[in-house]
C-alpha cells in the first residue's frame, strides 16, 4: 500500500464579524472562496458511500453521545498521486446514535434530525435541509481546507488528513477535529447563545472524523 499526503494550493479565506449573539471570545466566521477545480489530466474517483462515513461526538456537563452519518455521493480527483479537487454530500437523514438503545436512542435521533414534533429547528431540521456538503478549496501541510454547508449556511473548515492508495482504491482518513455548530445556526442548548442555561447546556464544539473510500470511475 502506497501512502501519500494531500498537496493542493491553498485558497484564501476572508474574515468577517462573528455572529452577534455569541460572546466576543468566539472565533470570527470565515467566508469561503471558490472550490478547487480538477484539471483535464486528473482521474476521477467515486466515493463508495457504503464504505464511507462520518463519525460525530457531542458533549454536555452530564455526559456525551456519539454516532455516525452516511454519505450520499462524492468524488475525488487525483493527478500523479496528488488530489486536485474533491467534494462529498452528507445524508442528514442518516444521523445515528451509537451509545443509546430503544426509546432513548430513537428520541435522540429524532431530536437531532428535527423529526420530533415541535423540535424541527433545534438541530439539523432534515425535512428542510436533507443534505450537507463539503467542497475542497485547498490543502497546506496536510491540512484539508474546504467549504462546509449545513442548513444552507457555508463556512470554511479544515482538518488534518492522509490518503492511502491501494490499486484503484483511494482511502482518505481525517484525524478527529472540531467544528462550532453555532456557526451553522445549530443553537439548541448553546450557552454562548443562551447564557441563562447555567450548567444545562450542550457544548458548541462537535468532534468529527471523516473516513472516505473511493474507487476509480
Task: Kindly report the pTM of this predicted structure.
Answer: 0.84
Any bridge partners for residue 82, and if so which? Answer: 79
The domain in which residue 20 lies consists of 2-216
**Tally of domains within the chain:** 1
Per-residue pLDDT of the chain (217 residues; tens, 9 = 90+): 544 434 333 333 222 233 333 343 444 455 677 899 999 999 999 999 999 999 999 999 999 999 999 999 999 999 888 899 999 999 999 999 999 999 999 999 999 999 999 999 999 999 999 999 999 998 778 889 999 999 999 999 999 999 999 999 999 999 999 999 999 999 999 999 999 999 999 999 999 999 999 999 9
Taking each continuous run of H as one helix and of E as one strand, the counts in the chain are 1, 13
Q: Other CB atoms closer than 10 Å to residue 179's CB: what's the count?
A: 19
CA-based angle 168:10:88, to the nearest 5? 45
If residue 108 lies in a helix (H) or strand (E), which one and from where to where? helix 102-113
Residue 194 belongs to domain with CATH number? 2.40.128.110
Amino acid at each position: 500500500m502506497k501512502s501519500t499526503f494531500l498537496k493542493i494550493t491553498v485558497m484564501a479565506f476572508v474574515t468577517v464579524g462573528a455572529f452577534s449573539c455569541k460572546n466576543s471570545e468566539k472565533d470570527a466566521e470565515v467566508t469561503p472562496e471558490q472550490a478547487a477545480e480538477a484539471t483535464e489530466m486528473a482521474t476521477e474517483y467515486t466515493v463508495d458511500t457504503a464504505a464511507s462515513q462520518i463519525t460525530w461526538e457531542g458533549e454536555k456537563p452530564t455526559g456525551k453521545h456519539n454516532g455516525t452519518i452516511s454519505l450520499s455521493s462524492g468524488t475525488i480527483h487525483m493527478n500523479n498521486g496528488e488530489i486536485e479537487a474533491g467534494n462529498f454530500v452528507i445524508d442528514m437523514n442518516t444521523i445515528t446514535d451509537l451509545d443509546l438503545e430503544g426509546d432513548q436512542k430513537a428520541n435522540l435521533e429524532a431530536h437531532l434530525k428535527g423529526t420530533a414534533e415541535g423540535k424541527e429547528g433545534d438541530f439539523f431540521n432534515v425535512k428542510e435541509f436533507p443534505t450537507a456538503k463539503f467542497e475542497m478549496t485547498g490543502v497546506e501541510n496536510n491540512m484539508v481546507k474546504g467549504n462546509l454547508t449545513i442548513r444552507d449556511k457555508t463556512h470554511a473548515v479544515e482538518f488534518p488528513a492522509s490518503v492511502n492508495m491501494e490499486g484503484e482504491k483511494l482511502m482518505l482518513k481525517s484525524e478527529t477535529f472540531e467544528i462550532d455548530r453555532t456557526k451553522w445556526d445549530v443553537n439548541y442548548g448553546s450557552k454562548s447563545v443562551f447564557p441563562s442555561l447555567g450548567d444545562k447546556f450542550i457544548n458548541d464544539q462537535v468532534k468529527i472524523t471523516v473516513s472516505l473510500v473511493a474507487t476509480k470511475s
